[in-house]
Homo-oligomer: A and B are copies of this chain.
Amino acid sequence: MARKRESTLVRRRQIINAARRLIIRHGSEHVTVRRIAREIGTSEGAIYRHFRSKRDILSLLLEHIEEDLIGDIERGGTNGGATLETLDRTVRGHVSAIEQRKGISFQVIAEVVSLGDKKLNTKIHDALNRYVGRIEALLSRGVEAGEIRDDIDLNAAAILFFGMTQGLVNIWSLGGYRFNLEQGYAPLWSIFRDSVARNRC
């Protein structure tokens, strides 16, 4: 007997959110179509009413995660100039959002990479480049505001920022989320902040 119908859009969201939760809980190797179906209380076949393949599910999930990451950064940044203080605030908000999501974004990226699917890999590569690009743009506004050094390679600084964040989140999640991410992040951020800030001498 068929249950009450659910709209396609809602279902698609439920499905990728289930995939997201499963990746966090068990790692990508354990994300199966059957488990996704169980997670939202439906059958395997029903999943295929909403997605053509498992790859399509992960592909949409990646898009949502990119929106999350970039959304964090855009939210904090006032469209005007970026002083070091607004940069501080943006990054704090970003890390806090990552902590609330339990590092989901970076984990999912790592997990999806491990599937070895070429199309998904280039999709991640592009998304990562856009993310780094946004950070670079943020720093660039800081340069215009005169609060960030203009003799620094902004792309390198943005990649450094990305790596710093991803690295700490990795250690944090590997260790079972046992320390407070924001607190653990503070000393890293202060080193980074000092290295790009203009008024150092």
Contact = CB atoms under 8 A, between A and B. Distances in A.
B201 A188 contact: no
A163 interface: yes
Contacts of A30: 116
A192 interface: yes
Contact of A125 (B128, B155, B175): B175
Contacts of A125: 171, 174-175
A33 interface: no
Nearest to A175: B125
Interface string A176-201: 00000000000110111011100011
Interface of A is mostly: helix
Interface string A4-38: 00000000000000000000001111100000000
A160 interface: yes
Given A159-B168, A170-B166, A27 B187 contact: no
Given A116-B27, A174-B121, A175-B125, A166 B168 contact: no
A199 to B, nearest CB: 11
A70 interface: no
Interface band, chain A: 35 or more
A59 interface: no
Contacts of A132: 171
Given A121-B174, A163-B164, A163-B167, A28 B114 contact: yes
A29 B174 contact: no
A164 B171 contact: no
A167 to B, nearest CB: 2
Interface centre among A128, A153, A155, A195 (most CB of B within 10 A): A195
A163 B168 CA distance: 7
Interface string A81-96: 0000000000000000
Return the 9 tightest CB-CB contacts between A and B, nearest first.
A163-B167, A27-B116, A195-B195, A156-B187, A114-B114, A201-B201, A153-B187, A125-B174, A163-B163
